[in-house]
Amino acid sequence: MRLFIRDSLFPGTRKHSGDTMISTSEELPVVKRGFGPLRFIFWGVMICIVKIELNGFDIINDFVGMLMIWWGVAALARVPISNTYHRRMIFPAVIAGISMIGAFYSAVLCPLHFAKVPLPSPSATMFALLFIAAFVSFMAIIVFCCCMAEYCSVMSWERALASWRYSTRLIIFGVLIPFLVLAIPLFVLLTSVEFYPKKPQPITWEHQSIGDDWQYTALRNGEVIYSETVSRSPDGSYHFTYPKLDPTPDDGLTINFGEWFAPADTTFARALFIPILLVAVAVCWAVIHFLMSLSRMIRAANEV
């Protein structure tokens, strides 16, 4: 474990017995085989970042971006750098493939066929699976960065190598470790609040006379969600104020989760707000530097 961490942070600095280098910087086919996949990954990440929606459908579709990323990672896994490189690249290639399938379901099938079907409210099981998926994805990205650093080390692309080393440290210490620290309190918070759909079903009101009183009833999908009986006032009139039955995403501090949101006006939620914001900033910088590392590697390959 210690050796793996050291190799991850300083790839290309340790020789493994029995891990024979298959290629060298003089073999131009290696450069040609890696140039195209690197560009596919770069533009795939850009497509996944940019959101242009029309009637709920992402025109620059995430599935296309994930397909490009998967193809690029799978192609890079076949570049003959070393046996260790080949074994490690299988992991990000598999995770990219799974993510591509997930993107096809969420970005293509759901908007086209299930737009009118209400999604199930987020559950503890769903959150647990998402936390596990996020951790595995971070690990896959870290492994990919380490492999790209080894690639650059073999090709003697010093600037790109330094960039990938920095990206690896940034993701480990700026994203992965803070994510692990915040995982349990964030999970507790998400599973303790009540989620509401951003596009709730319409409410219909009914009122009926009950003796000298009037009863006001609110129904959604035929189910009673609110009922109040109003008595006659001394002046002989009835006074009833329609209550606000559903919160909105603009009500104070809220947690947004896809088609759902949850009011989180609690001290616990506010205490987590700043750490989560800092992690979000670190994630943004990690994505930007990841793209910079890809760009520097592409430039180095283009100059050969």
Q: What confidence tens digit (pLDDT) does each residue in 274-288 have?
A: 888 899 999 999 999
Span 160-171, average pLDDT: 96
212 or 83, higher pLDDT:
83
- Average pLDDT (114-133) is 75
40 within 8 A of 72, measured Cβ to Cβ: yes
Whether the pLDDT of residue 97 is over 90: the answer is: yes
Residue 239 pLDDT grade (very low, low, confident, very high; cuts 50, 70, 90): confident
- Helix 267-303 vs helix 177-192: crossing angle, to nearest 10: 140
Angle between helices 124-155 and 2-9 (to 10 degrees): 60
CA angle, 277 then 281 then 284, to 5°: 135
Q: What is the pLDDT of residue 135?
A: 96
Q: How many CA atoms lie within 13 A of 143 on its CB side?
A: 22
Question: Looking at residues 147-163, what average pLDDT do you find?
Answer: 93
Q: Does the pLDDT at position 119 exceed 70?
A: no
> Which of 290, 5, 18 lies closest to 144, judged by CA?
290
Query: Which residues, listed in sequence order, are joined to residue 82 by a DSSP beta bridge?
Result: 21
- Per-residue confidence (pLDDT) for residue 26, from 0 to 100: 45
Measured CA to CA, the distance from residue 254 to residue 265 in angstroms comes to 7
Q: What are phi and psi of 261, to 5 degrees?
A: -145, 160
Is residue 157 within 8 Å of 297, Cβ to Cβ? yes
- pTM for this prediction: 0.76
End-to-end Cα distance, the chain: 36
What is the mean predicted confidence (pLDDT) over 126-136?
A: 92
Amino acid (one-letter) located at 55 = N
Query: Over the stretch 49-92, which tens digit does the pLDDT of each residue have?
Result: 887 766 656 667 788 999 999 999 999 998 888 899 999 999 99
- What 3-state class would DSSP assign to 29? helix
* Backbone torsions φ then ψ of 58, nearest 5 degrees: -75, 110
What are the Cα distances from residue 78, in Å, to 33, 68, 75? 9, 16, 5
Would you state the pLDDT for residue 180? 94
DSSP state of 122: P
Q: Tell me the Cα Rg of the chain.
A: 27
Residues 147 and 150: their CA atoms lie apart, in Å, by 5
- Does 158 have pLDDT greater than 80? yes
| Cα–Cα dist 108/114, whole Å | 10
Which has the closest alpha carbon to 294: 44, 85, 90? 44
Over range 221-226, report the average pLDDT: 82
pLDDT at 193 over 90: no
Q: What is the mean pLDDT of residues 97-126?
A: 73
Pairwise pLDDT comparison (190 vs 53), residue with the higher score = 190
Query: Considering the chain, what percentage of its residues have pLDDT values greater than 90?
Result: 38
Alpha-helical segments (H) within 193-261? none
Exposure pattern of 197-231 as b/e (b: 16+ CB <10 Å)? Answer: eeeeeeeeeeeeeeeeebebebeeeeeeeeeeeee
Q: Residue 170: how many CA atoms within 13 Å on its side-chain side?
A: 21
DSSP-derived 3-state class of residue 264? coil
Residue 191: its pLDDT value, please?
86
- 247-281 pLDDT per residue, tens: 777 777 777 777 788 887 677 777 888 888 899 99
Which tokens sit at 141?
């990205």
Task: List, for residues 1-53, the tens digit of each pLDDT value.
Answer: 444 444 544 444 444 434 545 444 444 445 556 678 999 999 999 998 887 76
Residue 222 pLDDT: 78
